[in-house]
Structure 1
Amino acid sequence: MRATNRLSAAGIKAAKAGKHCDGGGLWLVKRDNGGAQWVLRTTVYGRRREMGLGGYPSLGLAEARKQADRWRAVAAAGRDPVKEREAEARAARREDISLAVITADAFEARKAELKGDGKAGRWLSPLSVHVLPKLGKVPVTDIDQRDIRDVLAPIWHTKAEAARKAANRIAIVLKHAAALGLEVDLQAVEKARALLGKTRHKPEHIPAMPWADVPGFYASLAEPTLTHLALRLLILTGVRSGPLRHLRLEQIEGDVWTIPGDGMKGRKGATDAFRVPLSAEALRVIDLAKPFARDGWLFPSVRKGVISDATMSRLMERRGMAERPHGFRSSLRVWLAEATDAPHEQAEAMLAHTVDGSVVRAYRRTDFLEQRHVLIERWADHVTGGSGAVVRLVAAAK
């Protein structure tokens, strides 16, 4: 009896339901409904492996034998034919290794690390605006420092921050490509920076109001409108615009507002939530805003969601002011430095800034909430026209 090639085309058509051996581990499994499947049985490292080769009659007898010969040879070489075929399939799916495709894959892998899963598009925008239109179709393995230099050169000095972010994102994408097993130059971005030279751009800080002038501006926010109330609370708390605009009533408990970790810049996860002490004046402003609340938002938009990021800025623009809402964080920080003796760690904690290394922070385990309560009340006193006298915190720090 022949060890292989036992079946014939005519015999297969007439075969009943069941398993029919062609030899050498190749079997045709015929079902009651008339369908059939080719299966190859091999042994790798003493373990039996079965792999489906395809259905009959779409995969004929001659082609089934050809595939069986190929995978038997793989098994004879000590490799697992099932895993080898899976690897080939993965390689085929990665055939398109253009920068655009690898960028999308890298972004997908990092979405969980980004605020709001990256839905705002800020991680991708430096690449989609400045890089992908020119390099998106280029295989990532072909990209070198000259390509990166050429695409960043037009914005290197004129839009330095956008160029810096784009370069950083390219480096991340190249590392992702390397992790996929692609041959890329991981030093290409650093080489491009060397070719581009030092940027001539001087960073422009957001204009901030001197802390001594804040009471006058605060007093001018006398109308009980959402914009005036939002600006008041922004000044009183020193928070960024994003958390303030997305303030929900359930985040306030007593005189503490807890901002979830995913609502804080540079903080990820609920364990990194930030507690904001609320002064009596801040609580009064919140009470004034509550009648406007909708769907849980304290500062809702007239249409849907919350007020936009530009709402407060436009009020200041219309008044002909150079300062912007974010600048009040600087006003508070300078007041802390010039009008209080607050230690550096406590002053930075007022603005949710991270200081010291992770080890020091792990042992410190405090957000100075009690001390910040004292400071925020004194800041509110200054903002509402109080003395603004020097604050001594020796007792509070004990």
Structure 2
Amino acid sequence: MARTINRLSHRKVETIRVSGMYGDGGGLYLQVTNASDGTPRKSWLFRYAVSGRERQMGLGPLADVPLAEARDLASIAREMRRAGKDPIVEREAARAEASLVAAKSMSFDQCATAYIAAHRAGWRNVKHANQWATTVATYCSPIFGKLPVQRVDVGLVMKAIEPIWSSKPETAVRLRGRIERILDWARVRGYRDGENPARWRGHLDHLLPARGKVRRVKHHAALPYVEIPAFVAAVKARDAVAARALEFAVLTAARTGEVLGATWSEIDLGGRLWTVPAERMKAGREHRIPLGDRAIEILRSMIVTKPNVNDHIFTGDRRANLSNMSLLMLLRRMGHNDITTHGFRSTFRTWAAECTNFPREVVEAALAHVAGNKVEAAYQRGDILEKRQSLMAQWESYCSKPVVHRSVTPISAGRAHSASA
């Protein structure tokens, strides 16, 4: 390599004797080296001294860093030297900080996935976890899912939930709560800081109308309890597994999913008891249900009609347990398009309040409702099984009571009879 090189400046090109270096002044040099094939490589260097020791800091290859940019970088480095700092040390510290920030940075979607994975074991079923993932993918991912979770602000949260706040209020409320939980998780894990932009009280409640003012909460449609005996008689007359499952649900006041997922291992025919394990209960607590004569009769009939199919009690023709839709379609075929299977729990609750003297806590325990407050829950440690046995026996007796069909004499016929008399 020639030892005679050119010195770059704004006004002239000066030949100087620096081996492999083109000096531009102020410590900036263009270094030229040869590759193994003889191809020259050109890159910028900033040369300076610290405590009498010379140091060289690379500023990038000539192909990527033009002269003007190289001079700007050299100027920044000189400012550091005047401040008593070592440019190489400062750059390494900045790179380390950037690497740390990148390592700690997670997108909202990544945080959502991590949150769901962390809480999946505590949720009562797989469906609940899938609902979380679906909600995030549908309403959050297209808007801010790929952004760093630290950048999610009130504007982005509103952009996700405001369009469905009026049209889909239940979905919107769940979505807001899920966003809030994910952002809280990210804050605790150190991926974001500051206030939670999805918080409701004292925050979003100033931007959005309360759910109750948007749309009235729709409860599960229920059959009046005075019509229950006739309904149960009509269901009993039907020869179908769905009919037996529906009748069993009415008699036990259990939730639809608890009935359809019931297995023989949960049943104690001798003890006349159905024990639903905690993982299948909404409240996550084991629930014992006393079984009356008709409930036992239904179970025994299922042993005869569906032997050794699988451990589920109510199974369909394809050897799988029934679905919610099978019971809903049964109700429709019976002409009850206006009620749901879950609504029979409300029917039971109304009947118990108006037709019996059982205390409220006994009825609530029969429905597997969690005690209303912490004090009440502390005192109510048992499940009041003995009292509930009497309650459920009375309910079954009421459901099974004979239906009286009164004959009605037409008015015209009655008048003709009086006239002849």
**Preserved CA contact (<8 Å) 2:274 2:289:** yes
User: Following TM superposition, by how much is the alpha carbon of 1:197 offset from its aligned partner in structure 2, in angstroms?
Assistant: 2.5
Query: Which of residues 230, 248, 263 in structure 2 aligns to 1:248?
Result: 263
| Aligned residue identity for 1:139 | P
Is residue 292 of structure 2 the alignment partner of residue 283 of structure 1?
no
Cα deviation, 1:138-197, whole Å, max 9, x if unaligned, reads 221111111111211111011111111100000100011101212244331133342123
**Preserved CA contact (<8 Å) 2:120 2:129:** no
- Quick one: structure 1 residues 89 and 379, their matched pair in 2 at CA, closer, same or farther if it must change by over 3 Å? farther
Any idea what SS the aligned residue of 1:276 has? Answer: strand
Aligned to 1:64: none
**Preserved CA contact (<8 Å) 1:243 1:263:** yes
Query: Which of residues 169, 192, 196 in structure 1 aligns to 2:208?
Result: 196
Aligned to 2:141: 132
Aligned to 1:227: 242
Task: Determine the C-alpha separation between the residues in 1 that align with 2:286 and 2:133.
Answer: 26
Aligned residues: percent identity?
28
Aligned to 2:157: 148
**Preserved CA contact (<8 Å) 1:299 1:307:** yes
**Preserved CA contact (<8 Å) 1:142 1:184:** no
Task: Determine the C-alpha separation between the residues in 2 that align with 1:89 and 1:118.
Answer: 38
Any idea what SS the aligned residue of 2:131 has? Answer: coil
Bigger radius of gyration: 2
Q: Which runs of 5+ in 1 are unaligned?
A: 1-84, 388-398
Task: Determine the C-alpha separation between the residues in 2 that align with 1:142 and 1:243.
Answer: 42
User: Following TM superposition, by how much is the alpha carbon of 1:249 offset from its aligned partner in structure 2, in angstroms?
Assistant: 0.8
- 1:7-22 aligned within 5 A: none
Any idea what SS the aligned residue of 2:111 has? Answer: helix
Any idea what SS the aligned residue of 1:123 has? Answer: helix
Q: C-alpha root-mean-square deviation of aligned residues, in Å?
A: 2.2
**Preserved CA contact (<8 Å) 1:174 1:186:** no
Query: Which of residues 264, 268, 282 in structure 2 aligns to 1:265?
Result: 282
Name which of structure 1's ranges 130-139 and 217-226 shifts more when overlaid on structure 2.
130-139
Any idea what SS the aligned residue of 1:307 has? Answer: coil
Task: Determine the C-alpha separation between the residues in 1 that align with 2:178 and 2:326.
Answer: 30
User: Following TM superposition, by how much is the alpha carbon of 1:299 offset from its aligned partner in structure 2, in angstroms?
Assistant: 0.8
| Aligned residue identity for 2:322 | I
Is residue 357 of structure 2 the alignment partner of residue 344 of structure 1?
no
Task: Determine the C-alpha separation between the residues in 2 that align with 1:209 and 1:229.
Answer: 18
Any idea what SS the aligned residue of 2:132 has? Answer: coil
Query: Which of residues 238, 252, 265 in structure 1 aligns to 2:253?
Result: 238
| Aligned residue identity for 2:331 | M
Query: Which of residues 172, 176, 193 in structure 1 aligns to 2:185?
Result: 176
**Preserved CA contact (<8 Å) 1:224 1:288:** no
- 1:377-388 aligned within 5 A: 377-385=393-401
Query: Which of residues 204, 223, 236 in structure 2 aligns to 1:209?
Result: 223
Cα deviation, 1:235-279, whole Å, max 9, x if unaligned, reads 000000111111111111121100000100121xxxx21100111
Any idea what SS the aligned residue of 1:325 has? Answer: coil
- 1:66-81 aligned within 5 A: none
User: Following TM superposition, by how much is the alpha carbon of 1:304 offset from its aligned partner in structure 2, in angstroms?
Assistant: 4.6
Aligned to 1:311: 326
Cα deviation, 1:44-82, whole Å, max 9, x if unaligned, reads xxxxxxxxxxxxxxxxxxxxxxxxxxxxxxxxxxxxxxx
Task: Determine the C-alpha separation between the residues in 1 that align with 2:358 and 2:194.
Answer: 48
User: Following TM superposition, by how much is the alpha carbon of 1:90 offset from its aligned partner in structure 2, in angstroms?
Assistant: 8.3
Name which of structure 1's ranges 137-146 and 110-119 shifts more when overlaid on structure 2.
110-119
| Aligned residue identity for 1:115 | R
Q: Which runs of 5+ in 2 are unaligned?
A: 1-95, 404-421
Task: Determine the C-alpha separation between the residues in 2 that align with 1:90 and 1:252.
Answer: 56
Q: When the two structures are superposed, what TM-score results if normalisation uses the length of structure 2?
A: 0.66
Name which of structure 1's ranges 354-363 and 335-344 shifts more when overlaid on structure 2.
354-363
Task: Determine the C-alpha separation between the residues in 2 that align with 1:284 and 1:225.
Answer: 15
Aligned to 1:18: none
User: Following TM superposition, by how much is the alpha carbon of 1:314 offset from its aligned partner in structure 2, in angstroms?
Assistant: 1.2
Task: Determine the C-alpha separation between the residues in 2 that align with 1:88 and 1:265.
Answer: 46
Aligned to 2:38: none
Name which of structure 1's ranges 303-312 and 336-345 shifts more when overlaid on structure 2.
303-312
- Quick one: structure 1 residues 94 and 370, their matched pair in 2 at CA, closer, same or farther if it must change by over 3 Å? same
| Aligned residue identity for 1:195 | L
- Quick one: structure 1 residues 120 and 305, their matched pair in 2 at CA, closer, same or farther if it must change by over 3 Å? farther
Aligned to 1:10: none
User: Following TM superposition, by how much is the alpha carbon of 1:88 offset from its aligned partner in structure 2, in angstroms?
Assistant: 10
**Preserved CA contact (<8 Å) 1:259 1:274:** yes
Query: Which of residues 344, 365, 370 in structure 1 aligns to 2:381?
Result: 365
Any idea what SS the aligned residue of 1:106 has? Answer: helix
Task: Determine the C-alpha separation between the residues in 2 that align with 1:219 and 1:136.
Answer: 53
Task: Determine the C-alpha separation between the residues in 2 that align with 1:192 and 1:299.
Answer: 46
User: Following TM superposition, by how much is the alpha carbon of 1:115 offset from its aligned partner in structure 2, in angstroms?
Assistant: 1.2
User: Following TM superposition, by how much is the alpha carbon of 1:359 offset from its aligned partner in structure 2, in angstroms?
Assistant: 4.7
**Preserved CA contact (<8 Å) 1:149 1:196:** no
- Quick one: structure 1 residues 318 and 91, their matched pair in 2 at CA, closer, same or farther if it must change by over 3 Å? farther
Aligned to 1:77: none
Aligned length: 297
Cα deviation, 1:83-103, whole Å, max 9, x if unaligned, reads xx9x999865544x1111110
